[in-house]
Chains A and B, each alone.
Chain A
Amino acid sequence: MPTQSNRIITTFERLTAQGRTALIPYIMAGDPSLAETETFVLALDRAGADLIELGVPFSDPIADGPIIQKAAERALQSGTSLIRIIDMVRQLRTRTSIPIILMAYYNTILAIGEEIFCREAVAAGIDGVIVPDMPPEEATILDSAAQRHGLIVIFLLAPTSTNARRRTVIARTRGFIYYVSLTGITGAQLDNLTEVQQNVRQLRRAARKPVAVGFGIATPEQARIVGQFADGVIIGSALVRLIADEQSPLPPVERLAQFTKHLKAALQP
């Protein structure tokens, strides 16, 4: 059974046993180039990331705020495509075994075809996929292809999700549940952590699956607070902004490593 050996599942099992929270950085693949993304992934791994989410650039990212939109534009300008990202992960797999999850809008997957995508992704060493514009209602084709090949499809829940939807996602998602901390887009201001805490606590009780929280978590302090009640903390826009920061005297890979170490320290039990 391919799913049983999936790195996402084994990683969460190990972390849960150790009583630790997963640190899940998100970066945009190909921003500013795929070669640099490779070094970023290795740096994130060394700095203490537990899983890595790689954004697949799309021309019309409706779930993303301006920071990730601009990163996607840069990545597309550098010639990034889903196929090339898969090839890059294949290269990376000789040097790291950290779980890698793609965040891809549905049309980029459709362009390859669901079946070929799942087969190639798994062959290259990709462990899971998140499709922000594919709710469970529209996931039948991708989900069955993914199951055949042992790719994990991670679904999202939001503060607006109804109980019925929550039950659906709990039943359908594997690996972990991606809980969207705020009603909004990536990189938005996250104000009410108490509400997030209540929702995640409820969800974890009902789900009996790991719950990782993302959207708007920008500082080690926020990561620390969310880490107290979530199984994983996803940090995207803050890292993407750091990579693009032209004011900093440090090279991007060092900025990334430094910030990730701060996040890691904040998540220590």
Chain B
Amino acid sequence: MAPYPNKRGRFGIYGGMYVPETLMPAIQELERAYTAARRDPEFQREFRTCLAQYVGRPTPLYFAKRLTKTLGGPKIYLKREDLCHTGAHKINNTIGQALLTRRMRKHRVIAETGAGQHGVAVATVAAMFGLKAEIYMGTEDMERQALNVFRMRLLGATVTGVDAGSRTLKDAISEAMRDWTTNVRTTHYLLGSVLGAHPYPMMIRDFQSVIGREARRQILAAEGRLPDCLIACVGGGSNSIGLFYPFLRDPTVAMIGVEAGGFGIASGKHAARFAGGRPGVLHGTMTYLLQNDHGQVSSTHSVSAGLDYPAVGPEHSFYHDLGRIQYTAVTDEEALAAFDLLAREEGIIPALESAHAVAELVKVAPSMNKRDIVIVNLSGRGDKDVQQIARMRGIPL
């Protein structure tokens, strides 16, 4: 495996541990606990068992025959993370961190959530492991994702609205970090993406890379060769790095990370960090960040709450600069069209986040060879978005 991050939690110049002193001991404790767990066969065995019996892994690698025909380009495979328990890849990570929480003898977990998928996955494992859970969520996101708020509460978690700043994911993370700072002795911050201070980006990547390991095995079994291209959406970037990581050393496998283009890059209302940002420090890590000339973090926009965040995982910044992964953005409109397309062509309603990856596929497919193989990570299912889409189209439910 690639030797990143280094011992100081750096992916090149990115990453690091930019947190208040109060949190440093907890970050270091987490690093020690995870380093030990990573090497512990018993931990790994329990993690695998949970993924198999509770999450329902491996998830299928589905050959999308009709979509392949419609787009008239490469053979399209969908990695069906939408079929995970709770409906998205997020649970791969929450299972891993819940096991770690127990190992550290902590009894309370806190988390942020944007689309609500991570919040639901946290509430779910908290119920399963008997942990107390409090989920922070921007009040704007609570409105957009009312169904997931209700699901979290059904699962016994406390959902706390955050009314500060842009009232989205960024503010939910800030508030979760404040809670952690206050309750650090008893509480584990169960971060949901490859963001934050070291060891989070490394640890969450490791937990999510089960996606890519399975996909690698599955495509070799189905096609007898590696794919030509991988496509995944990038909010913080956990589903994408999860798929990409086990292929990074395969030079023939191209990778495209798709950011939220919102109303278009020129409009300034988007969450495309690589198109509009520059390196900065937010929420514990150095990475590409949407910010103004004075280092104030910009407000972002995306139709998809899960991609609506001004920073990207530091490992993505590293592979962006190296040119190993290509990053692009699709607009709200393109994502919504892809949402419909997948529903009608394949009978799969994707999460709006994942619809961004499908939209990029629609764009690149015509320029690809018919013999090429593409894997798109379908990171989550779209049930949570149905209400929002109906509202946008003026359809009363």
Listed in ascending order, the chain A residues whose CB lies under 8 Å from chain B are 58-63, 65-66, 69, 76, 81-83, 105-112, 132-135, 137-138, 155-162, 165, 169, 180, 183-185, 188
* A160–B297 alpha-carbon span in the complex (Å): 29
* Highest count of chain A CB atoms <10 Å: which of B17, B19, B279: B19
- Asked if B184 and A135 make an inter-chain contact with CB atoms under 8 angstroms apart, the answer reads no
The answer, among A59, A63, A106, for a CB contact under 8 Å with B181, is: A63
* Residues in A whose Cβ lies below 8 Å from that of B291: 107, 111
* A105–B174 alpha-carbon span in the complex (Å): 13
* Highest count of chain A CB atoms <10 Å: which of B171, B289, B293, B294: B294
* Residues in A whose Cβ lies below 8 Å from that of B165: 59-60
- Asked if B184 and A161 make an inter-chain contact with CB atoms under 8 angstroms apart, the answer reads no
State how many angstroms separate the Cβ of A106 from the closest Cβ of chain B: 5
- Asked if A107 and B281 make an inter-chain contact with CB atoms under 8 angstroms apart, the answer reads yes
Total interface residues on B, CB under 8 Å, equals 37
- Asked if B177 and A62 make an inter-chain contact with CB atoms under 8 angstroms apart, the answer reads yes
B75 at the interface (CB under 8 A from A): no
- Asked if B178 and A108 make an inter-chain contact with CB atoms under 8 angstroms apart, the answer reads no
The answer, among A58, A62, A112, A169, for a CB contact under 8 Å with B20, is: A62
* Highest count of chain B CB atoms <10 Å: which of A83, A169, A184: A184
B284 at the interface (CB under 8 A from A): yes
Chain B, residue nearest A79 (CB)? B294
**26 CB-based A-B contacts, threshold 8 Å:** A60-B282, A60-B283, A62-B177, A62-B181, A62-B283, A63-B178, A69-B164, A76-B296, A82-B294, A82-B295, A83-B294, A108-B295, A132-B20, A133-B19, A137-B8, A137-B16, A138-B16, A158-B20, A160-B22, A160-B184, A160-B185, A165-B24, A165-B25, A180-B21, A185-B181, A188-B182
Return the CB mask of B10-28 against A: 1 if under 8 Å, else 0.
0000001111111111101
- Asked if B8 and A107 make an inter-chain contact with CB atoms under 8 angstroms apart, the answer reads no
* A108–B292 alpha-carbon span in the complex (Å): 10
* A105–B18 alpha-carbon span in the complex (Å): 10
- Secondary structure type dominating chain B contacts: mixed
- Secondary structure type dominating chain A contacts: loop
- Asked if B22 and A59 make an inter-chain contact with CB atoms under 8 angstroms apart, the answer reads no
* Residues in A whose Cβ lies below 8 Å from that of B164: 66, 69
Contacts A60-B165, A137-B8, A158-B20 known; list 11 others, CB within 8 Å. A60-B174, A66-B164, A82-B295, A107-B282, A112-B295, A135-B17, A135-B20, A137-B16, A137-B24, A165-B24, A169-B21
- Asked if A161 and B24 make an inter-chain contact with CB atoms under 8 angstroms apart, the answer reads yes
B268 at the interface (CB under 8 A from A): no
* A184–B184 alpha-carbon span in the complex (Å): 9
State how many angstroms separate the Cβ of A120 from the closest Cβ of chain B: 14
- Asked if B181 and A184 make an inter-chain contact with CB atoms under 8 angstroms apart, the answer reads yes
- Asked if A111 and B20 make an inter-chain contact with CB atoms under 8 angstroms apart, the answer reads no
Chain B, residue nearest A178 (CB)? B21
* Residues in A whose Cβ lies below 8 Å from that of B279: 110
B280 at the interface (CB under 8 A from A): yes
* Residues in B whose Cβ lies below 8 Å from that of A134: 18
* A162–B26 alpha-carbon span in the complex (Å): 10
